[in-house]
A and B are shown apart, each in its own frame.
Chain A
Amino acid sequence: MLKIEHLTKKYGDKTAVSDLSLHIQKGEIYGFIGHNGAGKTTTLKSVAGIMKFDSGEILIDGTSIVSDPIACKKKMAYIPDNPDLYDFMTGIKYLNFIADIYGVGAEERRSLIREYADAFELTGDLAQPIASYSHGMKQKLAVISAWIHSPKLIIMDEPFVGLDPKASHRLKEMMRRVCDEGGAIFFSTHVLEVAEKLCDKIAIIKQGSLIRSGTMDEVRGDDSLEEVFLELEAE
């Protein structure tokens, strides 16, 4: 579903991501962990096609994000770490805007908006301006907008920040359902317990380089993910 091959991204002299390669198969929830400034967001932005990179290749379902970004973006959705949405729109207007862009039909979007807005208990606030939303409400809206066009690949940067426990639970269920239906999820998180319970595979990045990746059992062995992570960070 997602192939990252030898990805390198530099900011001036500083190398943010160095020769990173990852393969994410259909049906996988892939967690991406690392300390602040390790290169997670840069990698995710590069995959989402909103940041140009210096070398390497990113393929979404076999299509290059560089040569055909539109085709790639049609298949995926991206949620950034800070959901800066259009404050001047209402929640429903924003969802309709996204649905229009992805060409979601009127009836289909209606039923999807109802389903997801009810699931996140946001239905009553959809007519309110986004400017009046709390951080958590914006995050919920960003999640709904990502799911509204039924993407095959979902890229998320710290998706659980700001969500209440019920909404977090719903999101985890939705993530699993996407993968059960043949999609894939690639997301970053600092909450290692979540990563440990939710992810099929995990990658740990340090100073722009991948230091370990694989299935949860391969990465942690007999230890907890927290122990492994702290150990690798200390090296």
Chain B
Amino acid sequence: MMFRLLLKKQLTEIFRSYFYDVKKNRARSAGSVAGMFVLFAVLLLIGAGMFFLLAFTLCEPLFSVGCGWLYFCIIGGIALFLGIIGSAFNTYNMMYSSKDNDLLLSMPIKPSAIVGSRVACVYLLGLLYSGIVIVPAYIVYFIKIHDPLGIAGFIVFTAVISVTVMSLSCLLGWVIAKVAGRLKNKSIITVLLALAFIAVYYFVYFRIQKIISGLIENAALWGGKIRGSAHVVYMFGRAGEGDPLSMLVYAAAACVLFFLVFLLLRKTFYGITTATSKAKKIAYREKTVKAAGQGKALYRRELDKFLSSPMYMLNWGIAALFLLVLGGLVIWRGRAIFTGIRETLDIDPGLVAVFACAIIAMTASMGSGISAVSVSLEGKNLWIVKSLPVKPEKVLGAKLMLGLSVYMLPLVFCSVSVAAVLEGNFLLKLLVAVMPVLFYLFTSYGGLLIGLKMPELNWTNEMIPIKQGRSVTICLLGSWGLAVITALPYLFLSRYINGAVYLTIVSVLLAAGTAVCRKCLLKYGTRMFEDL
């Protein structure tokens, strides 16, 4: 009874955004709810469609050489990987960071019921992620291979994988909870971990096609090797095919794993949720600090906020890293790539230069909303800066300076790298180096104005101003669109003017736009800030 009540509460929380508009603070209309679910279904179908194509590519070649079990090994492996990766970041929050922990623990509720309801939600999440892979794979299997045993395999395999995903996700959440209490620099470590995940994802993404092609070509050879040296893996695949013994072994293993993990969670739940941080308390040592001016103090405040939030850094700072990587790639292979493109498409260096600028601008535009976000992030703390004797232009200047300090160096590095390897005269190279910088300046000023016009100050979760606000969406999409617009007209104009002239026009327009935005910011932006 208690478990059901808690599960209902958990599910209500998870699906609340589908029924309730937090921004407008009111229930969604029936049409809006239906729209949300349709959108959710479409996203699921897109994901499932991708795995359907993958399964379609793998199924027949593998079954034709008697390696059907390998098909399920691959599908099962991907489902486990996706399920655990997908749930990893949510499990810790879902299990241990709920705001109602103290309330629930103060009530006559057994910790096992609380743990059980949360584990059940982790299970549903894992089932969703792994189901996106498993269901299309079995649909392909039933279409291509008409094996009645497959039904049993489908049921048991899905249960084994979803339960294993749940157990391993919970275990990961438990490890994170244990480690998190001892960490000092949580935000930096979170960012590094997230970057590592992103790197692994892209590594796999770029390699997967090659791996699958190799696997299909040498399926019999690989299959034989795995079957001989790793019988456990072979049995995993056989369970997918519906082999009774393999199904029994894996179902039992999944149950034992779940039982042990649940026991661990139940025993440690109270201790973890009520524990205070074990990070060593930093002793205060009095020292004379060099006094700073208002501008510097306000800039430091913006930087401290940026560096304290992994979500802020990952969403609005990651493009700086992309620019550095892009610049490095250009130095490494840029000359050959640009020459190859120019010769293959038989286009002039000016067109290559214009589109190279647009690509740099588009990458940089992923950071143009940083100033808009910084306005909304003032949130409940807005009273501090408003009660201080500082002019609004200084506050806004610090917000602009944050974006410039994060992006200017990577942006200049990237655009200068491109300019250095591009074919063309000095003027064209100079404009390639300058135009993306002007683009960033323009979008930053514009972004700040949009942030002031549409602030999201009433939030309880940073995710809203950082990822979901109207201002950040407009900044991101608007600057992407603008990056495209800076290049597209040249497809038609290249017959009449050369690249240097075109980039001069674009640069002048961007510089003029920046000047206008700056004037607007000083005239209206400061007033808008005072009115917040």
Q: Hey, which bits of chain A sit against chain B, CB under 8 A?
A: 45, 48-50, 52, 69-74, 77-78, 80, 84-86, 88-90, 92-93, 96-107, 109-110, 113-114, 123-128, 132
Which listed residue (A101, A123, A125) contacts B388, Cβ 8 A? A101
Do B294 and A100 touch across chains, with their CB atoms under 8 A apart? yes
| A132-B530 Cα distance, complex, nearest whole Å | 30
| A165-B304 Cα distance, complex, nearest whole Å | 34
Given contacts A80-B383, A103-B291, A110-B288, whether A128 and B531 have CB atoms under 8 Å apart is no
Q: Is B292's beta carbon under 8 Å from chain A?
A: yes
* Binary interface encoding of chain B residues 366-391 relative to chain A, with 1 for a CB under 8 A from any of its CBs, else 0: 00000000000000110110111111
Chain B residues in 8 Å Cβ range of A106: 288-291
Do A84 and B381 touch across chains, with their CB atoms under 8 A apart? yes
Given contacts A50-B383, A128-B281, whether A100 and B291 have CB atoms under 8 Å apart is yes
Q: Is B278's beta carbon under 8 Å from chain A?
A: no
Do A85 and B387 touch across chains, with their CB atoms under 8 A apart? no
Do B284 and A101 touch across chains, with their CB atoms under 8 A apart? no
Do B304 and A88 touch across chains, with their CB atoms under 8 A apart? yes
Do B531 and A73 touch across chains, with their CB atoms under 8 A apart? no
Given contacts A50-B387, A110-B286, A132-B277, whether A86 and B291 have CB atoms under 8 Å apart is no
Chain B residues in 8 Å Cβ range of A50: 383, 386-387
Q: Is B1's beta carbon under 8 Å from chain A?
A: no
| A6-B206 Cα distance, complex, nearest whole Å | 70
Given A86-B381, A110-B286, 14 more pairs with CB closer than 8 A = A49-B386, A49-B387, A73-B389, A78-B383, A80-B383, A84-B380, A84-B383, A86-B301, A86-B304, A88-B309, A109-B289, A110-B288, A124-B284, A127-B283
Chain A residues in 8 Å Cβ range of B380: 84
- Nearest CB of chain B from residue A23's CB, rounded to whole Å: 22
Q: Is B297's beta carbon under 8 Å from chain A?
A: yes
Chain B residues in 8 Å Cβ range of A45: 383
The residue in chain A whose Cβ has the minimal distance to the Cβ of B287 is A110
Q: Is B282's beta carbon under 8 Å from chain A?
A: yes
| A86-B530 Cα distance, complex, nearest whole Å | 20
The residue in chain A whose Cβ has the minimal distance to the Cβ of B277 is A132
Do B386 and A114 touch across chains, with their CB atoms under 8 A apart? no
**Which residues of chain B from 293 to 352 have a CB within 8 Å of any chain A CB?**
293-294, 296-298, 300-301, 304-305, 308-309
Q: Hey, which bits of chain B sit against chain A, CB under 8 A?
A: 277, 281-286, 288-294, 296-298, 300-301, 304-305, 308-309, 380-381, 383-384, 386-391, 530-531
Do B304 and A48 touch across chains, with their CB atoms under 8 A apart? no
Do A100 and B305 touch across chains, with their CB atoms under 8 A apart? no
Chain B residues in 8 Å Cβ range of A93: 304
Given contacts A101-B388, A127-B283, whether A85 and B277 have CB atoms under 8 Å apart is no
Chain B residues in 8 Å Cβ range of A103: 291, 294
Chain A residues in 8 Å Cβ range of B391: 70
Chain A residues in 8 Å Cβ range of B285: 127
Do B308 and A88 touch across chains, with their CB atoms under 8 A apart? yes
| A-B CB contacts (within 8 Å), total count | 91
Do B305 and A86 touch across chains, with their CB atoms under 8 A apart? yes
Chain A residues in 8 Å Cβ range of B531: 52
Chain A residues in 8 Å Cβ range of B386: 49-50
Do B283 and A105 touch across chains, with their CB atoms under 8 A apart? no
Chain A residues in 8 Å Cβ range of B304: 86, 88-89, 93
A-B contact pairs, 29 of them (CB 8 A): A48-B387, A49-B386, A72-B389, A73-B387, A73-B389, A77-B387, A84-B380, A86-B305, A88-B304, A88-B305, A90-B282, A93-B304, A97-B297, A97-B300, A97-B301, A98-B388, A100-B292, A100-B294, A100-B296, A100-B297, A101-B294, A101-B388, A103-B291, A104-B291, A105-B291, A106-B290, A125-B284, A127-B282, A128-B282
The residue in chain B whose Cβ has the minimal distance to the Cβ of A71 is B389
- Nearest CB of chain B from residue A119's CB, rounded to whole Å: 15
- Nearest CB of chain B from residue A44's CB, rounded to whole Å: 11
Do B288 and A101 touch across chains, with their CB atoms under 8 A apart? no
| A213-B256 Cα distance, complex, nearest whole Å | 75
The residue in chain B whose Cβ has the minimal distance to the Cβ of A107 is B288
| A93-B282 Cα distance, complex, nearest whole Å | 13
Which listed residue (A85, A92, A97, A102) contacts B389, Cβ 8 A? A102
| A105-B291 Cα distance, complex, nearest whole Å | 6
8 smallest CB-CB distances across A and B, nearest first, come from A100-B297, A88-B308, A73-B389, A127-B284, A84-B380, A50-B386, A127-B282, A126-B284
- Residue among B286, B289, B304, B387 with the most chain A CB within 10 A? B387
Chain A residues in 8 Å Cβ range of B293: 100
The residue in chain B whose Cβ has the minimal distance to the Cβ of A149 is B389
| A89-B300 Cα distance, complex, nearest whole Å | 10
| A123-B301 Cα distance, complex, nearest whole Å | 22
| A92-B292 Cα distance, complex, nearest whole Å | 14
The residue in chain A whose Cβ has the minimal distance to the Cβ of B298 is A101
Which listed residue (B281, B290, B390) contacts A101, Cβ 8 A? B390
| A109-B291 Cα distance, complex, nearest whole Å | 9
Chain A residues in 8 Å Cβ range of B387: 48-50, 73, 77-78
| A102-B309 Cα distance, complex, nearest whole Å | 27
- Nearest CB of chain A from residue B468's CB, rounded to whole Å: 20
Do B384 and A85 touch across chains, with their CB atoms under 8 A apart? yes
